[in-house]
Structures are given as C-alpha cells and as structure tokens.
C-alpha cells in the first residue's frame, strides 16, 4: 500500500494538486479559442426529474452518490415547490438509480458539508435552511436534522456557502455559513452543537444576491455578487464592512468560485457572458477573461486538478475551461434547455488503489479516466445527465 501511495502522490503532483495556474495575462476573447488537448464528451446516462432541476452535487465521501434539487413556481396559487433526488450511478451499467425522493419547498441551492459526519445543506424558496445527515440506510440515506429560517420575512433564499479552510488544521467544531437572498441581503450564521446561530445580517446589494463565498484563507472575508452588476468584498468582523467594490461586470454577477488550490485566485461568472479570473492581491482589474456566449451561472473547480474548470452557461450548455489560459477544452451541448447545475464526480483514489496492482502508467490512466466524470442538469426539459471526457488523440 505504501508503494501504491507513493505512486499516487507522484501522479497527483503531476496531474493534480501541483497544477497551480501560471500568471498568463492573455485572455481568450472568443468562444472559438480551443485548447490543443481538446476533450470529447461522452454521455453515460440520463435521468428525468419531476420538477425543473437547478442544482446537482456529487457526494464527497461516496463517489457514486449525487443529489439533484428542483424548483417549480406555480403561478396559479403562487406556490414554490421542489424536491430532492438522492441518486446513485451504477458504474457497471452506467445507469442512474433513485435511492430517495423527497418533496420539499423549492430548492435554490445545495452543498455538501463534511463536519463530524457528512451533511447536505439546502436553501429553499421560503427562506429556510435545511440540513440533512447522510446515513448508511440505503432506502433513506438522507435524514433531516435541522430546519431554520435564514432570511427575513421568508424572503426567497438564493445561494449559500460554507467556510472551508484550505488548511485542515483550521477546522473547528463550529462551521460558518453565509446566505444570499432575493432582497440583496447577506446573512452570516454559525453551525454548532446548539444548532444554527445567527451572527449578523446586512443589506449587501440593491437587487438579488445571486452568489456569495468565503475566502477560504480567512473566515472574516466574504465575497458577494448580485443583479446590480457589482462584485463586493466584505470584512465581517463585528459589523460587516465593504472593503472592495468592482464595477467590471457589465451585467449581474451570478457565480463566484474560490480556488481550493491557489490562495490568491478566484473566478467570477456574469450574465454578461464572461468568465473572469482574479487575483486577490490585484483587484483593480481581472487577470483574464473569456466569453462563453451565455450567462455563466455556475463555476466548479475540479476537486483534484486545478487546471480544469466546469461552467454551466445557461443558454449555451456546459463547458470545461483550462484555468491556465481560459481556453475551452470541452463543450457539452446535449441538454435542450437552460444549463443550471453542474459538478465534478469526487473520487477516493487511495481506497481504490489500495487493492490494485498497477504500474505508474496504469495509475495515471486510471486517474485521468475516473476524475473527469460530470453531472449536469437543465431546467425546463427536467433533465439530468452524467457524462465524462475523453482525450482526442
């Protein structure tokens, strides 16, 4: 096992954690700029939901399990209903099986949280934060453990983010949460042994706060973006204080992703159709930008490979972008409706490789094959796809 681990870490240094983007300031200005090592998407399976889906999240601790959240507005009675599908990918047959289906209020956002156990958190249309524990029960793997109002007057909750320190030694028994809502407010809360405790709430934007995120190197710093076209940075010690404001985005800011690899880097997506890369030390202007020809609704860093960025681009499908130069490496256009939710499949390579007898070349190929599986969802056609990428030789 020790020899296998040494081989694995050598491969990860080559293909994974060591791939910190170089500071190349030449932006790819058009969608047609493609990476030389282009990837081909291959659909593995498709699944239909009851309501329009807007969020998919792979479980970080069980590599074949993922969840999908849905949202449906009924104009007749002005209700917002939703559901959660807990799904399993059968890797032998490439089929998607439903483990559990929960009827809920409309789901706007979901995230996994690894704390003392594995949890799924959701933000709902009635302004509630709902927390589920992942259990070993194959029939009902998700068990609700907490439900709290997190917005004022049941304002529509839109987004949330957990503080995930890059240094595992900074993990504590409490976990911090920031929530953005339809009114433009941000709410800061703490999850501890007493439940969810509120710290502060403030009016961060004049219009919908579509996205928010912690700086993973500093729990006192929060990023936010909204329909007012503004990107802001906040110092949340005592009363929240705005420390930076950017007007670079020409339309609403709808996604922020903080790099788990580079302590200085983060990405933003906007309805102005641009993906932008930023350095926290030089905030006057983004380092690079590339146009993806639709609103960049969701951004996901690859969990092991700093070079691969997954983007959900509303009316223009899903794209994998090279983080080094912001060129498009792969485009997935099999969905027929708005591209909203996306996530990379997580792997536990140490456990998988412990029972394998592989040389370096086999380990490399195995990691590359397994680490490029993606789940995506599109809204009006109520469709979830699982697909992977293959290198075009």
Contacts with 271 (C-beta within 8 Å, 6 or more apart), sequence order: 251, 252, 254, 295
Q: What is the pLDDT of residue 277?
A: 99
pLDDT at 13 over 50: no
Q: What is the rounded distance in angstroms from the CA atom of residue 339 to the CA atom of residue 375?
A: 11
The more confidently predicted of residues 355 and 265 is 265
> Which 3-state string (H, E, C) describes 273-332?
CEEEEEECCECCCCCEEEECCCCCCEEEECCCCCCEEEEECECCCEEEEECCCCCEEEEE
Q: What is the rounded distance in angstroms from the CA atom of residue 314 to the CA atom of residue 271?
A: 9
pLDDT at 4 over 50: no
Rounded to an integer, the average pLDDT of 285-312 is 98
Helix (H/G/I), strand (E/B), else coil: 139: coil
- The model's pLDDT over 55-95, given as tens digits with 9 standing for 90+, comes to 999 999 999 999 999 999 999 999 999 999 999 999 999 99
- The model's pLDDT over 328-353, given as tens digits with 9 standing for 90+, comes to 999 999 999 999 999 999 986 545 55
The more confidently predicted of residues 133 and 366 is 133
Element (H, E) at 210: strand 209-215
Q: Per residue in 316-347, is it b (16+ CB within 10 Å) or e — as a string? A: bbbbbbbbbbbbbbbbbeebebbbbbbbbbbb
Tokens standing for 113?
């949280």
Tell me the CATH class for 2-391: mainly beta
Rounded to an integer, the average pLDDT of 357-379 is 68
Share of the chain above pLDDT 70, in %: 83
Q: What is the pLDDT of residue 3?
A: 41
Q: What is the pLDDT of residue 38?
A: 76
- Burial class, 71, CB count within 10 angstroms (exposed 0-12 / middle 13-18 / buried 19+): buried
Q: What is the pLDDT of residue 115?
A: 76
Q: What is the rounded distance in angstroms from the CA atom of residue 156 to the CA atom of residue 182?
A: 5
pTM: 0.86
Q: What is the pLDDT of residue 360?
A: 53
Share of the chain above pLDDT 90, in %: 77
Q: How far is CA 104 from CA 70, 253, 381, in A?
A: 9, 28, 20
pLDDT at 248 over 60: yes
pLDDT at 110 over 50: yes
Least confident of 78-82, 167-171, 206-210: 167-171
- The number of residues in the chain equals 393
Rounded to an integer, the average pLDDT of 18-35 is 36
Q: What is the rounded distance in angstroms from the CA atom of residue 312 to the CA atom of residue 151?
A: 26
Instruction: List the domain boundaries for the chain.
Output: 2-391
The more confidently predicted of residues 8 and 344 is 344
């Amino acid at each position: 096992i020790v020899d296998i681990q040494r081989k694995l870490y050598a491969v990860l240094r080559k293909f994974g954690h060591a791939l910190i983007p170089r500071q190349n300031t030449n932006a790819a200005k058009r969608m047609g700029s493609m990476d030389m090592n282009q990837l081909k998407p291959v659909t593995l399976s498709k699944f239909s939901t009851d309501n329009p889906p807007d969020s998919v999240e792979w479980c970080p601790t069980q590599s074949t399990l993922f969840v999908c959240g849905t949202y449906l507005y009924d104009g007749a009675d002005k209700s917002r209903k939703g559901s959660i599908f807990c799904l399993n990918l059968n890797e032998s047959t490439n089929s998607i099986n439903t483990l559990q289906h929960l009827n809920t209020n409309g789901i706007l956002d979901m995230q996994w949280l690894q704390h003392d156990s594995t949890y799924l958190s959701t933000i709902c249309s009635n302004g509630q934060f709902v927390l589920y524990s992942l259990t070993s029960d194959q029939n009902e793997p998700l068990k609700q453990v907490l439900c709290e109002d997190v917005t004022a007057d049941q304002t529509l909750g839109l987004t949330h983010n957990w503080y995930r320190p890059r240094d595992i030694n900074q993990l504590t028994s409490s976990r911090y949460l920031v929530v953005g809502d339809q009114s433009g407010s941000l709410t800061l809360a703490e999850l501890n042994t007493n439940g969810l405790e509120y710290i502060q709430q403030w009016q961060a934007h004049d219009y919908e706060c579509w996205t928010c995120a912690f700086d993973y190197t500093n729990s006192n710093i929060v990023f936010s973006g909204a329909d007012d076209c503004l990107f802001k940075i906040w110092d949340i010690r005592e009363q929240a204080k705005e420390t930076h404001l950017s007007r670079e985005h020409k339309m609403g800011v709808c996604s922020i992703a903080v790099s788990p690899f580079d302590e200085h880097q983060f990405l933003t997506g906007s309805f102005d159709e641009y993906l932008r890369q930023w350095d926290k030390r030089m905030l006057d202007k983004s380092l690079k930008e590339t146009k993806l020809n639709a609103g960049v609704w969701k951004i996901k860093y690859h969990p092991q490979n700093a070079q691969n960025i997954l983007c959900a681009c509303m009316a223009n499908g899903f794209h994998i972008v090279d983080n080094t130069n912001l060129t498009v490496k792969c485009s997935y256009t099999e969905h027929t409706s708005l591209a909203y939710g996306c996530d990379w499949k997580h792997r536990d390579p140490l456990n998988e490789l412990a029972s394998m007898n592989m040389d370096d070349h086999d380990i490399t190929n195995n990691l590359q094959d397994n680490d490029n599986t993606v789940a995506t969802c599109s809204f009006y056609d109520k469709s979830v796809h699982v697909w992977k990428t293959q290198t075009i030789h």
